[in-house]
Structure 1
Amino acid sequence: MGSKHHLICDGRSTPFKVITTAANVNDVTQTLALVDGIPPVAGRPGRPRRHPDSLLGDKGYDSNPNRRELRKRRILPVISRKGAPNIKGLGKLRYVVEQTFALLHQFKRLAVRWERRTELYDAFVSLACSLVCWRRLQKACP
């Protein structure tokens, strides 16, 4: 029984939404679920933001229907196309997501899945995301 994490985060490696699926599930099937799962982000006065301005993704997220849905939601898709050369500089931006995966997998219960129950495993993923966010706040406010 293998599992895979699908993750959406900001430019500072703060996880917004993590979805756990079976290991053989394609990334493209989870794109809209990740975007829709972003909680409201407060900060500036007024209505809290629910969606990012743009979405960066690798070739695993390339899909014309997903691109159309993202544009309907006023999100600019910056996703490499399959069979085309990579978008220049996307690797540096993709590093942020890989760094967030590394932050989550430093918790050994997430690196190797021992729990059979999905609810329990998802609770550990949520706890790990909370700890990552809390550590970011501790560094930002000395």
Structure 2
Amino acid sequence: MAKALLPDDLWALIQPLLPVHQPSPKGGRPRIDDRAALTGILFVLKTGLPWEYLPRELGCGSGMSCWRRLHAWQQAGVWQRIHEAMLHHLREYDQIQWERASVDSASVPSPLGGQHTGPNPTDRGKLGCKHHLLVDQRGLPLVASISGAQVHDSRMLIPLLETVPSVSGLAGRPRKRPAKLHADKAYASRAHRAWLRSRGIAPRIARYGIESRERLGKWRWVVERTLGWLHRFRRLRIRYERRADIH
């Protein structure tokens, strides 16, 4: 049996977060159902299929209708609300491990260019972008961002930490800062270590000529694994969207 792209329990969590549509008094063509549109978006995300080739047999309407719904929901902040709702739901069951966090990035090709792309120094200067990811101790994504492939990893460390949402769900104050942060040598600088300590985060950043290779991946491997999981979605493995917000 084929695996459902949008199971009932996941849809039950997402549906209340979607904006309520007010039909036009002038009538017009019926609007595609929200669940059908989200199913089409997930199908394109997973398969990497061009929007215009989305099969109508899925019941999702046209691919461009799904694209427009994706854009409208992005403008309305729906995706951020869904992510925060997921984190809140997990924290209610104490499933977010704030003791340690890890940060890393991965470059992906962007053959069509667009916002937040640039020459990739590790791919003969071809256009690309970077996916930056901050995860908890088990690899749960806390925040993600993109930049041009030429942007150094260290420049995204502070923006990533500053955009971690406050997550409630348990007794006490909402949580948004890990106790320790693990990162590789690309993030090594005295300024970053001082900034982390000033916010109560213990830096565990590899230092040149001190930490051996054997110790670097003891805690950081989870962020590399999560990046690998994200890039199983073919729409993320190669960036075809020119617009950064859509990607």
Q: For this structure pair, what is the TM-score category when the shorter chain's length is used for normalisation?
A: 0.7 to 0.9
Aligned mates of 2:241, 2:157 — CA distance in 1: 25
Q: TM-score, normalised by structure 2?
A: 0.47
State how many pairs are aligned. Answer: 121
- Aligned: 1:77 with 2:208: no
| Distance verdict in 2 for CA 1:58–1:76, change over 3 Å | same
Q: Of 221, 224, 227, which residue of structure 2 is paired with 1:95?
A: 221
- Aligned: 1:45 with 2:179: no
Q: TM-score, normalised by structure 1?
A: 0.80
Residue identity matched to 2:241: E
Aligned mates of 1:94, 1:70 — CA distance in 2: 17
Classify the secondary structure of the residue corresponding to 1:65: helix
- Cα distance per residue 1:24-81 (max 9 Å; x no partner): 1111111111111111122430111111101000001101111111100000000001
Q: Which range is displaced more, 94-103 or 84-93?
A: 84-93
Q: Which range is displaced more, 90-99 or 54-63?
A: 90-99
State the percentage of identical aligned residues. 42
Aligned mates of 1:81, 1:91 — CA distance in 2: 13
Residue identity matched to 2:166: P
Aligned mates of 2:208, 2:145 — CA distance in 1: 23
Q: Which range is displaced more, 14-23 or 40-49?
A: 40-49
**RMSD, matched Cα:** 1.4
For 2:117, the equivalent position in structure 1 comes to none
Displacement of 1:87 in angstroms is 7.2
Aligned mates of 1:90, 1:71 — CA distance in 2: 20
Displacement of 1:99 in angstroms is 0.6
Residue identity matched to 2:134: I
Classify the secondary structure of the residue corresponding to 1:89: helix
8 Å CA contact 1:80–1:87 kept in 2: the answer is no
- Give unpaired runs (5+ residues) of structure 1: 122-142
- Aligned: 1:105 with 2:234: no
Residue identity matched to 1:33: P
Displacement of 1:20 in angstroms is 0.3
- Cα distance per residue 1:79-119 (max 9 Å; x no partner): 00123333763312111011110111010010011111111
Q: Of 5, 11, 28, which residue of structure 1 is paired with 2:154?
A: 28
Q: Of 183, 196, 208, which residue of structure 2 is paired with 1:57?
A: 183
Q: Of 189, 192, 195, which residue of structure 2 is paired with 1:66?
A: 192
Aligned mates of 1:75, 1:88 — CA distance in 2: 24
Which structure has the larger Rg? Answer: 2
Aligned mates of 2:179, 2:150 — CA distance in 1: 30
Deviating 4+ runs (over 6 angstroms): none
Q: Of 117, 123, 129, which residue of structure 2 is paired with 1:3?
A: 129
